[in-house]
Amino acid sequence: MIETQLDKSKKLTVFTVSGTITALEFAHAVRSFYAGDVTLYVLWDLRNGKLQSSDNDVWNLARSVSTLNLSSRRGGKTALVAGKGKSFGLARMYQRITDTMTLPFEIKVFTSIEEAHNWLGTEGAPTS
């Protein structure tokens, strides 16, 4: 399951993943985000979730994100927070793939929610 929280005062959307999600569910949440209230900063909290996907799924997800209208996020940042293990590896792969693309925002992977908020500049936002 993916829960979404919007903090307009911090220009932040937090996606909290619990249980197991697929790359398709991740992609659907991203598409819904870009169709709605787009914020400059995004945090994906994967610490209590698990991504069920292959390397090919991650590549396709990154490629599909690059086809969206991303101009509203120019200068923004996306943080992915994952624990150790496969989810962290898939998140790092996603970051490395998107690093080769021309995106108007940065993507970085963390193991600490606090470090992610520090990098985003959204300290004080909910960390649960």
State the CATH number of the domain containing residue 12. Answer: 3.30.750.24
- According to DSSP, residue 104 is labeled S
Residue 126 lies in a domain: no
Report the domain count for the chain. 1
Quick: pLDDT tens for 49-108: 988 888 888 889 888 888 888 899 999 999 999 988 888 998 999 999 999 998 999 999
Q: What is the pLDDT of residues 110-127, one digit of tens each?
A: 999 999 999 999 987 555
12 domain-assigned: yes
Give SS3 for 103. coil
For residue 128, being part of any structural domain is answered with no
- Tell me the pTM: 0.91
Question: Which of 112, 111, 109, 78 shows the shortest CA–CA distance to 96?
Answer: 109
* Position 6 in a domain: yes
Task: Determine the structural domain holding residue 94 and report its residue range.
Answer: 2-120
Residue 89 lies in a domain: yes
Give the bridge partners for 4, in sequence order.
15
Backbone angles phi, psi at 97, to 5 degrees: -65, -50
50 forms beta bridges with 20
In contact, 24 and 64? CB cutoff 8 Å: no
List pLDDT tens digits, range 31-66.
Answer: 999 999 899 999 999 999 988 888 888 889 888 888
115 found inside a domain? yes
Alpha helices in 16-66 (DSSP H): 23-35, 55-65
CA of 104: how far to CAs of 69, 73, 93, 95, 121, in Å?
A: 10, 6, 19, 14, 17
Classify residue 41: in a domain, yes or no: yes
For 94, half-sphere exposure in the C-beta direction (CA atoms, 13 angstrom radius) is 31
